[in-house]
Amino acid sequence: MYSPGFYFDPFYLLLTFGTIALSVYASWRVKSAYGRYSQVPARSGLSGAQIAQRILDLNGIQDVSIHPIAGQLSDHYDPANKRLMLSEENYYGTNVAALGVAAHECGHAIQHQQLYAPLQWRMAAVGITTIAGQIIPFVGMGLLWLMPKIALPILAVCFGIVMLFQLVTLPVEFDATARAKRILASTGAVAPGEETAAMSRVLDAAALTYVAAFISALGTFLYYVMLLLGNNRRDE
Ligand SMILES: [Zn+2]
């Protein structure tokens, strides 16, 4: 018989507080780096939207449109509609943080054009990850207490899917940032030295949030695998 007493499991508490602390720290770092370096003007005078258009042109990408979007750091590339969405601050901004973020999003558009494998995997996994994300609270709140024998394997599989999604996100994000740095250096949009160092700090801080998300997902997945193994052992 399985007793659902794991809410008081010290490992569960450590995992919960550890992952919350990690994600708060990562998002604080990216916000503080962005707040600081969005005050550093780029001598090139280009805005995020202008450098994005230039990068797309240089790569012969004509079917991706660039749009401003509300919200802070809401920037993303939408592969389904081939739209590069830049937050208003970065769309109009002529500072090194805006140029860095705009170039990073262009990195995703270039990945899409070049059929970069991890981006293809990530796009293919979006649907199943969304479903897993919807199943987790449903099974976690209800079924886990009533029928843990059924709920635990379902939760382990769902958290496994989320973990794999976060894992495949890592090369996609690191590659986009590496491309952004190379492109900004080669176009001269961000000057070498202080401007480049500041731009790099913003992008590296943003990359850390994806590492934090992966570590959280991995920890949660392993926790449910442990519960599942423990539960099975008790039945033998
Ligand atoms: Zn990205």
Q: Spell out the domain ranges in the chain.
A: 6-235
Q: 104: CA distance to ligand 1 center in Å?
A: 6
Closest CA to 163 of 132, 135, 139: 132
A 10 A CB-CB count for 113 gives: 15
Q: How many Å apart are CA 175 and CA 135, to the nearest integer? A: 31
Q: 48: CA distance to ligand 1 center in Å?
A: 15
For residue 235, the model assigns a pLDDT of: 59
Instruction: Answer yes or no: are the C-beta atoms of 64 and 106 closer than 8 Å.
Output: no
Written as one string, the DSSP assignment of 85-137 is: EEEHHHHH--BHHHHHHHHHHHHHHHHHHTT-HHHHHHHHHHHHHHHHHHHHH
Residue recorded with tokens 């012969």? 60
Closest CA to 103 of 174, 35, 172, 49: 49
For residue 137, the model assigns a pLDDT of: 87
Q: Cα separations (Å) of 61 from 18, 53, 99?
A: 42, 9, 18
Q: 76: CA distance to ligand 1 center in Å?
A: 7
Instruction: Answer yes or no: are the C-beta atoms of 79 and 119 closer than 8 Å.
Output: yes
Per-residue pLDDT of the chain (236 residues; tens, 9 = 90+): 444 545 567 888 888 899 899 999 999 999 999 999 999 999 999 999 999 999 999 999 999 999 999 999 999 999 999 999 999 999 999 999 999 999 999 999 999 999 999 999 999 999 999 999 999 988 887 777 777 788 889 999 999 999 999 999 999 999 999 999 999 999 999 999 999 999 999 999 999 999 999 999 999 999 989 888 887 666 55
Long-range contacts of 23-29 (CB under 8 A, 24+ apart): 23/209, 23/212, 23/213, 23/216, 25/212, 26/205, 26/208, 26/209, 26/211, 26/212, 27/209, 29/205, 29/208
Q: For residue 60, with 0-12 CB atoms within 10 Å meaning exposed, 13-18 middle and 19 or more buried, which class applies?
A: exposed
Collapsing DSSP to helix, strand or coil, 60 comes out as coil
For residue 8, the model assigns a pLDDT of: 63
Of the residues 89, 105, 173, 195, only one is catalytic, namely 105
Q: 169: CA distance to ligand 1 center in Å?
A: 9
For residue 2, the model assigns a pLDDT of: 46
Active site residue 88: no
Any idea what DSSP says for residue 159?
H
Long-range contacts of 12-16 (CB under 8 A, 24+ apart): 12/223, 15/219, 15/220, 15/223
Q: 191: CA distance to ligand 1 center in Å?
A: 22
